Homo-oligomer: A and B are copies of this chain.
Amino acid sequence: MNHISIDCVIFGFNNNELKVLLLHLKYSKEYSLPGGFLKYDETLEQAAQRIVRERTGLDKLFLKQFKVFSDPERSKSNKAILDADMAGSKPDKTFFDKRFISVGFYSLVDFRKVKPTPDLFSDRCDWVSLNEDVSMLLDHKQIIQEAISTLRLQLNQQPIGLKLLPRKFTMPELQTLYETILGRDLDRRNFQRKMLNYNILDKLKERKTGGAHKSPYLYSFNMERYQKALEDGLSGIW
């Protein structure tokens, strides 16, 4: 019989870096994606909400299915390590011999609102920058890569900026977010013009102070117009 699990790639944006919320496993000293199993009367979406809620303290987050991972070898890819590290530890050793089919979800959250919370098997729950190359459980590194690819493709169809940024943000912050997801630089002036032409941002009177240079204006999303614009997709290729 197949086990259905869920793995969540929770993205946050902080300090001009895209980060993923990961659990640091007590026994294997590796990082793992927050995950869990589907309960009998849940939809996958409800299960993913539950998993994300338990790690972030937040409810009703933006979540999207992006791929199912079903390679029978996937639960074995790290088996040697697991066997060694988990000997005599709490989880049942044979548990990891079973086959897992995992549905990948990605989630977009406001970094500052999250309270990272470890689970029973982990000693820490950390935001890990995508630049950091940490050791990860099973095929979780690959799952993150797939999530980013999806994010890139859906940049114009999903409310990515809205969900990842705080309510008030600056244009350079929004641009860096786009650049991070796309993996390439964008022209500052063209970016700003294009964004403003979408007519989905409200320019606020305030500026962001405290930076070392000229203080940028703050913007916020105009929810109504943003929602409407997304229905057709924000035209244009970045």
Q: Taking beta carbons and an 8 Å cutoff, which residues of A are in contact with B?
A: 1-2, 4, 38, 40-45, 65, 67-68, 70-72, 99, 101, 103, 153, 157, 233, 235-237
A53 CB → nearest B CB, Å: 18
Q: What residues of chain B lie closer than 8 Å to A41, measured between beta carbons?
A: 72
Number of copies of this kind of chain in the complex: 2
Known: A65-B67, A237-B235. A72 touches B43 (CB 8 A): yes
Query: Is B71 within 8 A of A43, CB to CB?
Result: yes
Bound CA–CA A1/B42 (angstroms): 12
Known: A4-B4, A235-B237. A43 touches B70 (CB 8 A): yes
Query: Is B99 within 8 A of A70, CB to CB?
Result: no
Bound CA–CA A38/B65 (angstroms): 20
Query: Is A40 within 8 A of B103, CB to CB?
Result: no
A37 CB → nearest B CB, Å: 9
Chain A binding surface SS class: loop
Bound CA–CA A153/B1 (angstroms): 34
- A67's nearest neighbour on chain B, judged by CB, is B65
Q: What residues of chain B lie closer than 8 Å to A2, measured between beta carbons?
A: 2, 4, 38, 40
A154 CB → nearest B CB, Å: 8
Known: A2-B2, A42-B72, A68-B103. 8 other contacts (CB 8 A): A1-B1, A4-B4, A4-B101, A40-B72, A68-B68, A153-B157, A233-B237, A236-B237
- A4's nearest neighbour on chain B, judged by CB, is B2
- A154's nearest neighbour on chain B, judged by CB, is B153
Bound CA–CA A2/B42 (angstroms): 11
Bound CA–CA A44/B44 (angstroms): 17
- A38's nearest neighbour on chain B, judged by CB, is B2
Q: What residues of chain B lie closer than 8 Å to A70, measured between beta carbons?
A: 38, 42-45
